[in-house]
Copies of this chain bind each other. A is one copy, B any other.
Amino acid sequence: MEFATPFEITKEFVLKLEKAAQSHEDRFIIESLRGVEPADISVVLEELDGEDSKYILMLLDHDVAGEILAQLDEDVMLPFVAEFSPKELAPIVQDMQSDDAVDLLLEISNHMRDEVIAHINDKEAQMNILDLLRYDEDTAGGLMAKELIKANYKWDIVRTIEEIRRQAEDVEKIYSVYVVDDFDRLLGRVSLKEMILAKDHTKVGDIFEQEVNTISTDSSQEEVAEIMQRYDLEALPVVNARGRLVGRITIDDVVDVITEAAEDERNLMAGISEDVEEDDTIWKLSRSRLPWLIIGMGGGMLAAKFIASFEDDLAIIPVLAAFIPLITATGGNVGLQSSSLVVQSLANPLAIRESLAVRLLKVFGVALLNGLVLNLIVFGINMAMGQSMALSLVVAIALYTVVMLSSILGTMTPWVLDKMGVNPAMASGPFITIANDLLGLTVYFTVAHLLLL
């Protein structure tokens, strides 16, 4: 046997394929891609330009082409699909899983979308797509696919297997047969394992499992991820407000949701404002970073203006300047630690929570403790290094205040952002750094001015 994993995608292979597409060597292309998984082909095609990749896609079967399109990175989908006419795209979209088809259609213009849908011949596929387009992308309805196997509770195993056979091509992965009543209301499920072990004339109504995890169409994708992860589910049936079975979410889509959420969060924490990767163009990389750099610089200029207003104090005690980085860095670190923990806890919507009062009290406790330890160390070092008692005290008092305030700021910010409907991870980014810098400097110079001058 041949083991297909992992298919080695090399630069050379990509170049060969590019050349073959340009010189229309159809036979070579088809031979080279035989047996290669669609996911691997999509990685290769992402390296080619739109024209070449379209040429290759058009040589493949519609369902393979559809799987390849489904695996593309969202941000390359548009240039990719732009080469196609609606008439060329429609038969490929028609053969895609309904959720993937909709993800693709949401990337293109309204006009093109309508045209593609109008060109889809299979009425069922068309209806499925139109139905799914109604749901918000970030909800269970936006994640689900229409493809699933359902059986009326009155059916026996033989009849149900017939249904599986009829749908075998459409529903790639089955896992369970969902059991419904005459009104399509979900009653429960029979796993494929039980299907295999049951007798031919057993009624599914007699063997189905009643306690089934479900989710409603308007639940958030975070809830979907949390439930599937907590209960180790490979598929989750979606019901509408009346309990009717309307779709199914599979774990592969949820894994993508989890991965993307983690990436978004890292980008926010790192101050990168677009979904970029290392192999994007210099221009795109630059553009994704400038917004936060400029905002950060704005913060720096504000700080400069603020410090400059203490120019007279600095002229008398120039060594005051020495502790600026200590104050700002500590405030930043404390704020980041605090916010990060709140972001983590907000990301888990089903957890048992302590009340806000208890949590703030705890934040306060941790800050008191950590502030004390840091202070003793700094005060000790300063005295040992021969700084004056007064300056050592100023630094210690300012540092303690900054640790307390930054803890509270770091805890409240993600919480407030979340209430406002903004991704709370935003709080862990440069935002908290700037706020903490300004806060720290204000405290430090105010204390210094009051105690030293």
- Which residue of B has the minimal Cβ distance to A373? B290
The 8 A CB mask of A290-332 against B (1 = contact, 0 = none) is 1011101101110111011001101100111111111111101
Tell me how far the C-beta of A267 lies from the nearest C-beta in chain B, rounded to whole angstroms.
Answer: 7
Q: How many copies does the complex hold?
A: 2
Give the Cβ gap from A327 to chain B, nearest Cβ, in Å. Answer: 8
Of B188, B283, B344, B374, the residue contacting A294 (CB under 8 A) is B374
Q: Does A4 contact B (CB under 8 A)?
A: yes
Note all chain B residues with C-beta closer than 8 A to A214: 3, 5
- On chain A, which size bracket covers the interface? 35 or more
A188 close to B278 (CB less than 8 A):
no
Map CB proximity to B onto A197-233 as digits: 1 under 8 Å, 0 otherwise.
Answer: 1000000000000111111000000010001111110
Chain B, Cβ-Cβ closest to A213: B5
Q: Is the interface of A mostly helix, strand, loop or mixed?
A: helix
Map CB proximity to B onto A380-394 as digits: 1 under 8 Å, 0 otherwise.
010001000000000
Stretch at the interface among A79-87, A102-110, A433-441: A433-441
Q: How far is the CA of A354 from the CA of B144 in the complex (A)?
A: 36
In the complex, what residues of B have CB within 8 A of residue A286's CB? 365-366, 369-370
Q: Give the distance in Å from the alpha carbon of A263 to the alpha carbon of B266 in the complex.
A: 10
CB neighbours (8 Å) of A324 from chain B are 307, 321, 324-325
> Which residues of B have CB within 8 Å of A337?
270-272, 289, 292-293
Q: In the complex the two chains form, is B377's CB within 8 Å of A164's CB?
A: no
In the complex, A334 has a CB within 8 A of chain B: yes
- Is A282 interfacial (CB 8 A cutoff)? yes
Evaluate contact between A39 and B230: CB separation under 8 angstroms.
yes
A112 is an interface residue with CB less than 8 A from chain B? no
A101 at the interface (CB under 8 A from B): no
- Complex CA distance for A290 and B367, rounded to whole angstroms: 10
Q: Are A430 and B164 in contact (CB under 8 A)?
A: no
Q: List 15 A-B contacts (CB under 8 A).
A: A3-B213, A14-B352, A39-B231, A164-B193, A229-B259, A234-B251, A251-B255, A254-B255, A258-B259, A271-B333, A278-B359, A285-B341, A296-B333, A301-B326, A325-B328
